[in-house]
């Protein structure tokens, strides 16, 4: 059916409309402005404020443009005397109950009501508007924002954004008539009603009613603040932020979302309120050298001299392979590129790795084997718009990737998507799921094989896709035919009926996507888990189309980029193998060095093991904190103590930096330029928002100096020049330049400067040619519960904190909201152990023990204990197991045996 | 409070459908005399409407009560006919007698006092309703009688 063309006449001008247009959407698209107060493009129109009234010929009254669908051939007037009077009346009614204190209001200059009043209300009327103002006893003051009820104009934008965007249902309008206000109800604070402090309601408030507390610290007026668009530095979603800086103090005073972006209106609490660590007093301002066990300030010259001397000494005594480098998933692409260049070209070793080893090493290994490319196959927008079914396994999306989490909730709420959730904990998304399965930690292969078996047995697989696009299906089929469905379900400890329901829901949907994260990857069978998911997607033909695919959600802001740019021991930038002679030659010529190491280097855990043995004598760590993040922390501490010379480049004296011989002060994301690559392979700009303090250098500059010290004479005037160099040697980044990233960034592969980027991988052909099925059978985790350690510990994240907490614990509001670890234990286990919520307990494994507070809940599976790894006082990784997946070398952070005793 | 609330039978009447929220709340109030918080939390789970959304509805309609009713609930009609024949005076008198303001419960749980816009018994104006029973043509004198009768009832 061809699209119907409707036209209307607006102010004498003909405008084409779409069928489902309202007058407001059609007319504003044509560039004619209609004022609004309660309208927002992202929300369903409500027609509450009546500011957008227009005249439609034939209609007896003025109509609200935002809620009135266009009528073909309508003749419309957007402004005349009658309309002006109507708008004026409505604005005056609002002003009657609004404090006329613009002169001291935070929103002065950026307030919508103020702007409209200026346009529509003559000065002479002001004195008539100073009548009685309503008062209320309601109050909402929390760690992050304030609701100033006296300024509320009841536009209900906050309530609607909570319902439609954040889907938190925290707010509703209380009472009626003149006295209605947004409220959480029953005298509760927002937090008590389930508020996650995303602040999206604060962002949309058109007046000074909902205000971020931080804005009150500014010495400038809102309209004087300097705005910088940049990429959030927390998780892999890559939300675009607008950082507002008070130029008088060189301080960030507020953050809001950049709406023309993947995140749209949404941000989470960390993105919006988690930036104060940038100005924290703990930041290091000058290089520090450890002398007699104490850190002493030094000059850059002195620090570089010492590093050069020590590293050269180690190289001359035991060769470059006795040095190792940990690059950073928090740093920019440009910095990661320089770090691996330092390791490979200047020092001469492939011993470079980073924390991707601990999160998605098995993804990269597994998906490369199955598909030929180890990244998220689809894009956030097509997953949350086009997927009929989303299967979420091992991803607590609303806590770890909050903005993707809210988009999934929106998709379910709007009836677009059905969810299947598999997780040992009843995570928030399980409340939105059609099918929820609570598998035993470490049994994912059994669960996925059970689904595959059911799909094959019932003939629900996509024969055409398998035939055209894949290989080795027969082997998979044969293997699966030998396994018994019931025993697989028994291993996974899930109901057979649920598995059948999930399998047929997934297989029969037109488009079904898989989303997973570390619940899948952090196992000794991590690669097997990933391969099983690839099998599941391929037998149902769910690859290469919108709303399908196998989608690992990457943890850190730039963990994708750190991998892309060669922060791994086996590949040059762009996943070009270091063992391939052609690649060696290419990089040798390009970097102008005689020799490059052609054997794979050591991974994170191996580096620590070798350091323990004395084979790794020097380590350079940039922006990583292995003393908290790595498994079996006691072992890591011992290793770092043994290392002869440790360099740490960071913002703070982290737990890891305490072991350093030299600490170099880096710059935060707000102080430098660069790019991050988010989970959907989108390369996005990081832009400098504030001037740095002390003698800190941007991390890329530090690395440039290091390169120069070790014989690579190359100078970069800006990170943009580094990106140009990256593009020359990294085919997947070949077409990327800062100029092209200006708006919404680019998704790799982007091989040439005219290539538009690739939102969906493996569209007509897999990266490796044909998709390969792998025959996978269930294996037990490395450590299972026994009489001595009867419970399984699994670890994860919390919305408010990030990773090892070095940043979020330094944000006052966040620290106040979540100051300590609260480990979770099942009601039945707690009863047996005589433990209740709030008790202090000791959790102990074969490797260590920690003291923690406990929360008793029925949302976790019996026999399982849950901890986050954000708190150094209750460091979960003292307990975790450093047994490795043999293929990807990822440690088994998600399963280990523990015992719990009441303190 | 140790009451076992059974609301599933009420929810079943409406097929656990959240769009029937107002009828559900009204039935719950008929059964218990008010809307107990525990019941609301239970309903919230079962029909998937957040407590905040329920609050929006409950606070909109004056008929919904969140406190258990007092032993004697006194309602003073403020409709036009009652108003012109002394409703305001009557209300003030009861307020001073019971030392209560409209909308309040007495601390001993014996009385609650409220106003209503019109009960539709204008021929009997000014009217007072006590526990659902309508008393008409009230003056300070009749109110004194009514209240002392309630007090006497207490003594027995």
Are residue A735 and residue A805 in the same domain, yes or no? no
Rounded to whole angstroms, the Cα distance separating A743 from A146 reads 33
* A51-61 average pLDDT score: 94
CB count in 10 Å sphere of residue B151:
11
Q: Do A573 and A729 meet the contact criterion of CB atoms below 8 Å apart?
A: yes
Are residue A539 and residue A417 in the same domain, yes or no? yes
A175–B60 C-beta distance less than 8 A: yes
Residues of chain B predicted below pLDDT 50: 1-2
pTM: 0.92
A172–B53 C-beta distance less than 8 A: yes
Distance of CA B124 to the CA centre of its chain: 21
Last residue of a domain, one of A226, A248, A275: A275
Rounded to whole angstroms, the Cα distance separating A393 from A371 reads 20
d(CA B48, nearest CA chain A) in Å: 10
Rounded to whole angstroms, the Cα distance separating A463 from A204 reads 49
Q: Is residue A90 part of a domain?
A: no
Q: Is residue A584 part of a domain?
A: yes
A175–B59 C-beta distance less than 8 A: yes
d(CA A211, nearest CA chain B) in Å: 21
B37 touches chain A (CB under 8 A): yes
Residues constituting chain A: 903
Are residue A176 and residue A226 in the same domain, yes or no? yes
| Structure tokens given for A689 | 């928002």
Are residue A545 and residue A565 in the same domain, yes or no? no
Domains of chain B by start residue, with CATH: 8-60 (no CATH), 72-155 (3.40.30.10)
Rounded to whole angstroms, the Cα distance separating A148 from A880 reads 46
Q: Is residue A120 part of a domain?
A: no
Q: Do A754 and A863 meet the contact criterion of CB atoms below 8 Å apart?
A: no
* A108-134 average pLDDT score: 88
Q: What does the pLDDT look like over A160-205, one tens digit per residue?
A: 999 999 999 999 999 888 888 999 999 999 999 999 999 999 999 9
Q: Is residue A768 part of a domain?
A: no
Interface predicted TM-score (ipTM) of this complex, two decimals? 0.82
In B, which residues are within 8 Å of A409 by CB distance?
Answer: none
Are residue A545 and residue A562 in the same domain, yes or no? no
pLDDT at B2: 42
Q: What does the pLDDT look like over A398-424, one tens digit per residue?
A: 999 999 999 999 999 999 999 999 999
Say which DSSP state A152 is in.
-
Q: What does the pLDDT look like over A418-476, one tens digit per residue?
A: 999 999 999 999 999 999 999 999 999 999 999 999 999 999 999 999 999 999 999 99
Are residue A268 and residue A296 in the same domain, yes or no? no
CA distances, A417 to each of A28, A409, B9 (Å): 31, 9, 31
Query: Tokens 């005349």 identify what position?
Result: A80
Give the nearest chain B residue to A178 (CA atoms).
B60
Q: What does the pLDDT look like over A730-781, one tens digit per residue?
A: 999 999 999 999 989 999 999 999 999 999 999 999 999 999 999 999 999 9
Q: Is residue A420 part of a domain?
A: yes
pLDDT at A339: 96
| Per-residue confidence band for A715, with pLDDT thresholds at 50, 70 and 90 | very high
Are residue A135 and residue A253 in the same domain, yes or no? yes
Q: Which of B37, B56, B66 has its CB closest to that of A172?
A: B56
Are residue A614 and residue A571 in the same domain, yes or no? yes
Query: Which of B52, B54, B63, B64 to mutate to probe the A interface, most A CBs <10 Å?
Result: B52
pLDDT at A272: 95
Last residue of a domain, one of A717, A747, A777: A747
CATH at residue A849: 2.40.40.20
Vertex A377 angle, CA A375 and A378, to 5°: 130
* A807-830 average pLDDT score: 92
Query: Tokens 């965007």 identify what position?
Result: A165
Give the nearest chain B residue to A174 (CA atoms).
B56
Is the pLDDT at A619 greater than 60? The verdict is yes
- Report percent pLDDT > 70 for chain A: 99
| Structure tokens given for A88 | 């004026």
pLDDT at A4: 58
Q: Which phi and psi angles does A346 have, rounded to 5°?
A: -85, -45
B56–A185 C-beta distance less than 8 A: yes
Give the nearest chain B residue to A186 (CA atoms).
B55
Q: At what angle do helices A333-341 and A719-729 cross, to 10 degrees?
A: 70
| Per-residue confidence band for A1, with pLDDT thresholds at 50, 70 and 90 | very low
Rounded to whole angstroms, the Cα distance separating A440 from A861 reads 8
Is the pLDDT at A312 greater than 50? The verdict is yes
Q: Is residue A100 part of a domain?
A: no
pLDDT at A806: 86
| Per-residue confidence band for A630, with pLDDT thresholds at 50, 70 and 90 | confident
As a whole number, the mean pLDDT across chain A is 93
| Structure tokens given for A572 | 């040059």
A579-586's contacts with Cβ under 8 Å and 24+ in sequence apart are A586/A729
Rounded to whole angstroms, the Cα distance separating A541 from A560 reads 26
- In sign, the C-alpha dihedral spanning A871, A872, A874, A879 is positive
B45 touches chain A (CB under 8 A): no
Q: What does the pLDDT look like over A84-100, one tens digit per residue?
A: 999 999 999 999 889 98
Name the burial class of residue A220, with classes exposed (0-12), middle (13-18) and buried (19+) by CB atoms within 10 angstroms of its CB: middle
CB count in 10 Å sphere of residue A581:
9
CA distances, A307 to each of A60, A321, A342, A571 (Å): 81, 16, 13, 26
3-state secondary structure A776-844: CCCCCCCCCCCCCCCEEEEEECCCCCCCCCCCHHHCHHHHHHCCCCEEEEEHHHHHHHCCCCCCEEEEE
Q: Is residue A113 part of a domain?
A: no
pLDDT at A762: 94
Query: Which of B55, B67, B103, B117 to mutate to probe the A interface, most A CBs <10 Å?
Result: B55
pLDDT at B4: 65
Residue A712's nearest CA partner among A337, A442, A438, A289 is: A337
Are residue A544 and residue A562 in the same domain, yes or no? no
Sequence-distant (6+) residues with CB within 8 A of A96 are A129, A131
Domain span at residue A29?
6-79
Are residue A162 and residue A255 in the same domain, yes or no? yes
d(CA B51, nearest CA chain A) in Å: 7
A169–B52 C-beta distance less than 8 A: yes
Are residue A267 and residue A330 in the same domain, yes or no? no
CATH at residue A195: 3.30.70.20
Are residue A404 and residue A510 in the same domain, yes or no? yes
- Report percent pLDDT > 90 for chain A: 88
pLDDT at A382: 92
Q: Do B131 and B123 meet the contact criterion of CB atoms below 8 Å apart?
A: no
CATH at residue A68: 3.10.20.740
B60–A185 C-beta distance less than 8 A: no
A185–B51 C-beta distance less than 8 A: yes
Q: What residues pair up with A842 in beta bridges, in sequence order? A: A851, A901
Pairing, β A618-622 against β A645-650:
parallel
pLDDT at A698: 94
Sequence-distant (6+) residues with CB within 8 A of A478 are none
d(CA B24, nearest CA chain A) in Å: 19
Query: Which of A174, A180, A181, A185 to mutate to probe the B interface, most B CBs <10 Å?
Result: A185
Helix (H) or strand (E) holding B113, with range, is strand B111-116
Give the nearest chain B residue to A413 (CA atoms).
B48
Q: Which of A169, A174, A194 has its CB closest to that of B59?
A: A174
B51 touches chain A (CB under 8 A): yes
Rounded to whole angstroms, the Cα distance separating A892 from A781 reads 8
Helix (H, G, I), strand (E, B) or coil at B13: helix
Q: Round to the nearest angstrom and report the end-to-end CA distance of chain A.
A: 71
B52 touches chain A (CB under 8 A): yes
Q: Which of A170, A175, A176 has its CB closest to that of B52?
A: A170
Sequence-distant (6+) residues with CB within 8 A of B85 are B125, B126
Rounded to whole angstroms, the Cα distance separating A203 from A190 reads 16
Q: Is residue A661 part of a domain?
A: yes
pLDDT at B155: 65
A170–B50 C-beta distance less than 8 A: yes
Last residue of a domain, one of A275, A301, A324: A275
Helix (H) or strand (E) holding A257, with range, is strand A251-257
pLDDT at A574: 93
Q: Looking at the 3D structure of chain A, how many domains does it have? A: 5
Q: Do A364 and A760 meet the contact criterion of CB atoms below 8 Å apart?
A: no
In A, which residues are within 8 Å of B39 by CB distance?
Answer: none
Burial A390-413 (b: 16+ CB within 10 A, else e): bbbbbbbbbbbbbbbbbbbbbbbe
CATH at residue A704: 3.40.50.740
């Amino acid at each position: 059916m061809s699209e119907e063309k409707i036209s209307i006449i607006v102010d004498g001008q003909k405008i084409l409309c779409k069928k489902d247009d309202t007058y407001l959407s059609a007319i504003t698209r044509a560039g004619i402005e209609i004022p609004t107060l309660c309208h927002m493009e992202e929300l369903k129109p409500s027609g509450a404020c009546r500011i957008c009234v227009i005249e439609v010929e034939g209609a007896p009254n003025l109509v609200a443009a935002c809620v009135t669908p266009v009528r073909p051939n309508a003749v419309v007037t957007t402004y005349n005397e009658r309309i002006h009077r109507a708008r004026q009346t409505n604005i005056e009614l609002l002003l009657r109950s609004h404090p006329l204190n613009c002169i001291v209001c935070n929103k002065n200059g950026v307030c919508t009501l103020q702007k409209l009043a200026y346009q529509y209300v003559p000065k002479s009327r002001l004195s008539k508007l100073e009548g009685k103002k309503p008062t209320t006893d309601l109050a909402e003051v929390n760690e992050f924002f304030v609701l100033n009820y006296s300024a509320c104009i009841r536009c209900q934008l906050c309530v609607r954004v909570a319902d439609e965007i954040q889907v938190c249902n925290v707010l509703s309008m209380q009472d009626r008539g003149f006295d209605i206000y947004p409220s959480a109800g029953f005298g509760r604070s927002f937090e008590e009603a389930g508020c996650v402090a995303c602040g999206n309601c604060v962002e949309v408030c058109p007046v000074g009613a909902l205000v971020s507390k931080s804005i009150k610290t500014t010495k400038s007026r809102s309209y004087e603040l300097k705005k910088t668009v940049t990429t959030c530095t927390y998780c892999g979603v890559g939300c675009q932020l607008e950082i507002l800086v008070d130029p008088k103090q060189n301080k960030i005073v507020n953050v809001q979302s950049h709406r023309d972006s993947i995140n749209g209106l949404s941000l989470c609490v960390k993105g919006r309120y988690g930036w104060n660590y940038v100005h924290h007093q703990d930041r290091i301002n000058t290089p520090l050298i450890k002398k007699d066990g104490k850190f002493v300030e030094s000059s850059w010259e002195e620090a570089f001299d010492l590093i050069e001397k020590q590293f050269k000494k180690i190289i001359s005594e035991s060769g470059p392979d006795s040095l190792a480098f940990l690059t950073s998933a928090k740093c920019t692409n440009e910095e990661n590129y320089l770090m691996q260049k330092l390791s490979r070209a200047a020092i001469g070793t492939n011993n470079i790795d980073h924390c991707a080893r601990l999160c998605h090493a098995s993804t990269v290994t597994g998906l490369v084997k199955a598909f030929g490319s180890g990244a998220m196959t689809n894009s956030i927008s097509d997953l949350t718009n086009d997927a009929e079914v989303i299967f979420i396994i091992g991803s607590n999306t609303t806590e770890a990737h909050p903005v993707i989490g809210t988009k999934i909730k929106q998709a379910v709420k709007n009836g677009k998507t059905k969810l299947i959730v598999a997780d040992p904990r009843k995570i928030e998304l399980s409340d939105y799921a059609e099918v929820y399965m609570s598998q035993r930690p470490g049994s994912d292969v059994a669960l996925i094989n059970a689904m595959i078996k059911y799909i094959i047995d019932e003939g629900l697989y996509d024969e055409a896709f398998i035939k055209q696009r894949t290989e080795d299906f027969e082997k998979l089929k044969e293997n699966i035919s030998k396994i018994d469905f019931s025993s697989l379900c028994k291993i996974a400890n899930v109901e057979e009926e649920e598995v059948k329901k999930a399998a047929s829901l997934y297989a029969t949907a037109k488009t079904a996507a898989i989303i997973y994260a570390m619940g899948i990857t952090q196992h000794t069978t991590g690669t097997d888990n990933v391969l099983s998911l690839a099998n599941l997607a391929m037998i149902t033909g769910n690859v290469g189309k919108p709303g399908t695919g196998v989608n690992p959600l990457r943890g850190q802001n730039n963990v994708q980029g750190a991998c892309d740019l060669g922060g791994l021991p086996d590949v040059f930038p762009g996943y070009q193998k270091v063992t391939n002679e052609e690649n060696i030659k290419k990089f040798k010529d390009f970097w102008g060095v005689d020799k490059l190491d052609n054997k794979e280097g050591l991974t994170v855990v191996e580096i620590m093991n070798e350091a323990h043995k004395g084979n790794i004598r020097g380590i350079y760590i940039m922006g990583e904190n292995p003393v908290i993040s790595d498994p079996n922390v006691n072992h890591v501490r011992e290793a770092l103590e043994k290392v002869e010379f440790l360099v740490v480049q960071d913002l703070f004296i982290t737990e890891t930096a305490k072991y350093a011989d030299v600490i170099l002060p880096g710059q935060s994301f707000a102080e430098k330029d660069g790019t991050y690559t988010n989970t959907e392979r989108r390369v996005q700009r990081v832009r400098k928002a504030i001037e740095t303090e002390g003698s800190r250098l941007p991390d890329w500059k530090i690395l440039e100096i290091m390169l120069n010290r070790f014989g690579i004479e190359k100078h970069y005037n800006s990170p943009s020049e580094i990106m140009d160099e990256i593009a020359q040697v990294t085919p997947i980044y070949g077409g990327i330049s800062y100029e092209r990233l200006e708006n919404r960034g680019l998704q790799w592969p982007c091989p040439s400067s005219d290539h538009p980027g690739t939102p969906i991988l493996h569209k007509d052909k897999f990266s490796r040619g044909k998709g390969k099925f792998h025959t996978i059978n269930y294996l037990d985790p490395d450590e299972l519960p026994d009489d001595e350690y009867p419970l399984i510990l699994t670890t994860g994240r919390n919305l408010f904190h990030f990773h090892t907490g070095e940043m979020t614990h330094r944000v006052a509001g966040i620290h106040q909201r979540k100051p300590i670890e609260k480990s979770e234990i099942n009601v039945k286990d707690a009863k047996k152990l005589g433990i209740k919520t709030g008790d202090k307990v000791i959790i102990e494994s074969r490797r260590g023990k920690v003291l923690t507070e406990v929360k008793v809940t029925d949302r976790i599976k019996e026999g399982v204990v849950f901890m986050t790894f954000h708190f150094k006082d209750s460091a979960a990784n003292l307990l975790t197991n450093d047994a490795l997946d043999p293929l990807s070398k990822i440690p088994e952070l998600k399963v280990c045996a523990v015992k719990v005793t009441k303190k | 409070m140790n009451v076992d609330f059974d609301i599933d039978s009420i929810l079943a009447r409406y097929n656990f459908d959240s769009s029937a929220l107002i009828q559900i709340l009204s039935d719950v109030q008929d059964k218990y005399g008010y809307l107990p918080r525990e019941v609301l939390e239970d309903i919230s789970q079962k029909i998937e409407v957040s407590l905040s959304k329920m609050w929006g509805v409950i606070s909109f309609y004056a008929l919904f009560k969140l406190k258990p009713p007092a032993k004697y609930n006194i309602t003073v009609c403020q409709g036009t006919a009652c108003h012109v024949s002394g409703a305001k005076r009557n209300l003030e008198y009861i307020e001073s007698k019971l030392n209560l303001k409209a909308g309040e419960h007495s601390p001993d749980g014996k009385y609650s006092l409220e106003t209503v816009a019109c009960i539709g018994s204008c021929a009997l104006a000014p009217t007072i309703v006590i526990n659902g029973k309508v008393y008409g043509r009230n003056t300070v004198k009749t109110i004194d009688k009514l209240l002392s009768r309630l007090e006497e009832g207490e003594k027995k």
